[in-house]
């Protein structure tokens, strides 16, 4: 047992920097002293270290040992314990078998997930490095669940995603310059609290307060009122889910019709306005995209739309489009149309104006970028060419060899025999979990490294207990936060848990290639090695550049930042010929000839309003928003104290409007059943007029907890909205995730309330 340390240990999580101390029983956590608005999610750590949900020892599915796992995996207890030596030998032999029989192209190591904040013990980087360096490659995944559509459309029409989301308008610019912020999808503080690698200062609340005091007018364009905090003093413009593009088009139409648009900017900086103008005016389809047309679609009044258009044409206006809007069918369109609307206003590249994709969707945005590189684990070269857009995992497993489209390419799904996952929880994050269950029953072997018994771990064949972040040394860093953190180990690992790095080093040794993976370094030596490029860049720039030991003793290092210069869009504005955008024309593409050649009807060559192919109906009259939770990051530490404190009768809370609740006889605190043709889940009702009528909101992250005996498609008794979401791509262009929106019905749950078992560990046979 650890002694209570005399000093607190600095540490970091994706939701913020903090210090912690552990006396063997109690974990004290305190936020970084200079953080003006620490996230309450930090409290989730306090009961996590020794929680019953932690995995203590390696486990193997008994039916897998008997060669019968494929097609029979479920959530009933079927595990036996194995020693580390036995399990790594077994796994090394299985990896060698699969490679010999089928090659690396039969292993899916895409292994998506946020895992933890440290730069070395980042599980996704570790598994990719292992599969590249020690195994010979794997089928990978590209893009993210966060930004699946935008990461593909933006390079076609404006240039790289990173530049437009991160090196663009800062909060400081907004405080000083911006008159109007049109926040499509809002800018919720629960989202800006999070940035991969962790932030030491959460600045957004203060920035919005100061901007609003100076006179910035924020507009929260969302079905949820609290998608902007009270501090922004925003005007809420409730809009029907999935209709933002119609509003943007009507704003553009009004600007055009009333001659309020910046013709010189469009002529000098954009490509292809002509064909788009025909669409906007309805010359090609007979439907002018005017305010009256949009009113019928969005639920806003035509007069309010015209007023808004006139207002944004005056003063400095920023158009921001959140991640959430593109996590839906045709999600490419709002990202593109937001840019076109901003181009018509002519302020792209001006301080505090123009277009900032994803500003306010994560803590990475609106800040200055570090002037030196942060430590990064090299992942080696992947010899396998096959990949999937990340959210096509079920499609791939269910349809080996079948064709699919992606970004102008015709590809085929690999035939996967072994799935290797570390640092993610697909049974929380992927859409249509009943379908995912079938998909995860296709491979011969499923391997998972986890620190807790998530549903993904419970569905695996080989489960390896990983340390959690507090149980190891690491370096915390985020490219848009100046504080490099010596994340010191706070507690000894639980049970027999080991670092992912040590597990992979062991496996590499059993595969006879230890040196290829470790390069002769232990984890402490890797930390020093990863720190070195940062130190070197600091020294070359003439900044404070302590060696690793000194950095480690200090516990932190403040890194210099690049200037707040508006990035590549400002440079483009200043000189569009010398500073061309990295698009085919070098300009903002309002019409994309490249996309036109793909011939995708679900992603036309200019932005357009495409209504969902699954609209609300009599059977499923409510539109579900399955957004990011405020009580945890994704599903991480769902058993943690803060997440648990917000559950109602152990279930996740679902919010619905008083009108919809009244019609169904639902009151605050009632357990309700949400359902559609794909599945069902229970949740606990909160009746609130912060949610627009016709909309129901259930955040992601409650661990999937199938009702026993409900096979093959049991309901989740805990509240995972991915029981209900659609597992389709945004379009053939990006094939991004559509998890944000679906349609459902909701009723008061009539039956006996089943217990929540989500956090119970399986009892070994």
- The contact set with ligand PGD (CB under 6 A) reads 113-116, 121, 123, 145-146, 327, 422-425, 428-429, 449-452, 454, 466, 468, 500, 626-628, 633-636, 700, 721-722, 725, 739-740
How big is the chain by its Cα radius of gyration, in Å? 26
* Least Å from the CB of residue 147 to ligand PGD: 8
Measure the CA–CA gap between 67 and 581, rounded to whole angstroms.
55
Return the number of the residue (141 or 356) whose C-beta is nearest ligand PGD.
Answer: 141
Measure the CA–CA gap between 497 and 313, rounded to whole angstroms.
59
**8 Å CB contact between 449 and 499:** no
* Least Å from the CB of residue 638 to ligand PGD: 8
* Least Å from the CB of residue 472 to ligand PGD: 8
Return the number of the residue (333 or 627) whose C-beta is nearest ligand PGD.
Answer: 627
Considering Cα of 115, then 117, then 121, then 124, what sign does the dihedral take?
positive
Return the number of the residue (463 or 684) whose C-beta is nearest ligand PGD.
Answer: 463
* Least Å from the CB of residue 62 to ligand PGD: 23
Residue from 15, 64, 114, 330 carrying the catalytic annotation: 114
**8 Å CB contact between 545 and 538:** yes
- Name the burial class of residue 380, with classes exposed (0-12), middle (13-18) and buried (19+) by CB atoms within 10 angstroms of its CB: middle
Measure the CA–CA gap between 647 and 644, rounded to whole angstroms.
5
Q: What CA dihedral angle connects 68, 72, 73 and 76, to 10 degrees?
A: -110
* Least Å from the CB of residue 313 to ligand PGD: 33
Return the number of the residue (245 or 468) whose C-beta is nearest ligand PGD.
Answer: 468
Residue from 15, 32, 112, 420 carrying the catalytic annotation: 112
102 is catalytic: no
Tokens of 77: 């207890």
* Least Å from the CB of residue 247 to ligand PGD: 21
Measure the CA–CA gap between 435 and 679, rounded to whole angstroms.
10
DSSP string, 217-245: EEEEESSBGGGS-GGG-PEEE---TT-HH
Return the number of the residue (595 or 702) whose C-beta is nearest ligand PGD.
Answer: 702
Beta bridge partners of 680: 675
* Least Å from the CB of residue 321 to ligand PGD: 15
CA end-to-end distance (rounded Å), the chain: 29
Return the number of the residue (637 or 661) whose C-beta is nearest ligand PGD.
Answer: 637
112 is catalytic: yes
Residue 2: asked if its preceding bond is cis (omega within 30°), the reply is no
List the helix and strand counts (H, then E) for the chain: 27, 29
Measure the CA–CA gap between 722 and 740, rounded to whole angstroms.
9
Residues 6+ apart with CB under 8 A from 37: 189, 193, 202, 203, 204, 205, 206
Measure the CA–CA gap between 348 and 344, rounded to whole angstroms.
9
> Which residue has the closest beta carbon to ligand PGD?
739
Measure the CA–CA gap between 716 and 674, rounded to whole angstroms.
10
Return the number of the residue (130 or 591) whose C-beta is nearest ligand PGD.
Answer: 130
Rounded to 5°, the CA angle 446-448-454 comes to 115
* Least Å from the CB of residue 539 to ligand PGD: 31
Return the number of the residue (172 or 226) whose C-beta is nearest ligand PGD.
Answer: 226
Place of tokens 């996967």: 416
Q: Which residues are part of the catalytic machinery? A: 112, 114
């Amino acid at each position: 047992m650890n002694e209570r340390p005399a000093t607190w240990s600095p540490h970091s999580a994706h939701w913020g920097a903090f210090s912690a101390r552990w006396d063997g029983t109690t974990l004290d956590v305190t936020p970084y002293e200079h953080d003006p608005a620490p996230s309450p999610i930090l409290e989730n750590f306090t009961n996590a270290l020794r929680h019953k949900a932690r995995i203590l020892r390696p486990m193997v599915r008994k039916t897998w040992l008997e060669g019968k796992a494929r097609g029979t995996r479920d959530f009933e207890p079927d595990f036996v314990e194995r020693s580390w030596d036995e399990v790594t030998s077994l796994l090394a032999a299985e990896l060698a078998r699969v490679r010999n029989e089928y090659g690396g192209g039969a292993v899916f190591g895409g292994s998506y997930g946020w895992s933890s904040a440290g730069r070395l013990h980042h599980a996704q980087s570790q598994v990719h490095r292992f599969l590249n360096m020690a195994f010979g490659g794997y089928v990978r995944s590209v893009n993210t669940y966060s930004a699946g559509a935008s990461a593909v459309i933006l390079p076609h029409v404006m240039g790289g995603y990173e530049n437009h989301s991160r090196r663009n308008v800062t909060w400081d610019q907004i405080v000083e310059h911006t008159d109007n912020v049109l926040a499509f999808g809002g800018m919720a503080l629960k989202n800006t609290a999070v940035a991969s690698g962790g932030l030491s200062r959460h600045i957004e609340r203060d920035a919005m307060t100061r901007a609003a005091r100076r006179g910035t007018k924020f507009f929260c364009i969302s079905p949820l009122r609290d998608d902007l905090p009270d501090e922004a003093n925003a005007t809420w413009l409730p809009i029907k889910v999935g209709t933002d593009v119609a509003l943007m088009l009507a704003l553009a139409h009004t600007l055009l019709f009333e001659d309020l648009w910046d013709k010189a900017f469009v002529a000098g900086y954009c490509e292809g306005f002509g064909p788009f103008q025909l669409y906007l005016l309805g010359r090609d389809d007979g439907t002018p995209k005017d305010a009256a047309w949009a009113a019928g679609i969005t639920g806003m009044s035509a007069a309010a739309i015209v007023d808004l258009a006139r207002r944004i044409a005056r003063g400095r206006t920023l158009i921001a489009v959140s991640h959430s809007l593109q996590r839906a069918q045709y999600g490419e369109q709002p990202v593109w149309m937001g840019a076109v609307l901003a181009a018509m206003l002519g302020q792209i590249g001006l301080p505090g104006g123009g277009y900032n994709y994803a500003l306010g969707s994560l803590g990475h945005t609106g800040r200055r970028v570090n002037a030196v590189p942060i430590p990064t684990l090299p992942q080696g070269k992947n010899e396998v060419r096959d990949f999937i857009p990340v959210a096509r995992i079920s499609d791939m497993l269910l349809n080996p060899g079948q064709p699919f489209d992606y970004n102008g390419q015709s590809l085929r799904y690999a035939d996967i025999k072994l799935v290797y996952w570390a640092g993610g929880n697909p049974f929380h994050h992927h859409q249509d979990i009943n379908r995912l269950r079938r998909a995860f029953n296709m491979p011969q072997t499923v391997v998972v490294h986890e620190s807790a018994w998530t549903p993904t771990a419970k569905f695996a064949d080989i489960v390896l207990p990983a340390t959690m972040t507090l149980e190891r040394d690491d370096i915390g860093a985020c490219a848009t936060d100046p504080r490099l953190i010596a994340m010191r180990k706070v507690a000894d690992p639980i049970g027999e848990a080991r670092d992912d790095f040590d597990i992979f080093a062991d496996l590499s040794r059993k595969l006879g290639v230890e040196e290829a993976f470790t390069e002769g370094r232990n984890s402490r030596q890797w930390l020093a090695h990863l720190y070195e490029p940062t130190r070197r860049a600091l020294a070359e720039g003439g900044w404070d550049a302590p060696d690793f030991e000194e950095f480690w003793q200090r516990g932190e290092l403040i890194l210099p930042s690049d200037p707040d210069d508006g990035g590549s869009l400002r440079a483009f504005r200043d000189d569009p010929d010398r500073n061309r955008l990295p698009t085919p024309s070098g300009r903002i593409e309002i019409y994309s000839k490249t996309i036109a050649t793909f011939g995708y009807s679900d992603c036309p060559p200019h932005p357009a309003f495409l209504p969902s192919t699954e609209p609300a109906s009599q059977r499923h009259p409510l539109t579900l928003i399955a957004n990011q939770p405020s009580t945890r990051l994704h599903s991480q530490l769902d058993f943690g104290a803060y997440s648990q404190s917000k559950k109602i009768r152990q279930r996740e809370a679902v919010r619905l409007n008083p009108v919809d609740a009244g019609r169904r006889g639902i009151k605050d605190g009632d357990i309700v059943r949400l359902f559609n043709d794909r599945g069902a889940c229970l949740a606990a009702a909160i009746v609130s007029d912060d949610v627009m009528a016709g909309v129901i909101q259930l955040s992601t992250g409650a661990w999937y907890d199938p009702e026993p005996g409900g096979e093959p498609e049991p309901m989740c008794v805990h509240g995972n909205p991915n029981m209900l979401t659609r597992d389709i791509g945004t379009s053939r262009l990006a094939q991004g995730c559509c998890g944000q929106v679906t349609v459902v019905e909701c009723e008061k749950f009539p039956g006996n309330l089943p217990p929540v078992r989500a956090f119970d560990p399986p009892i070994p046979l």
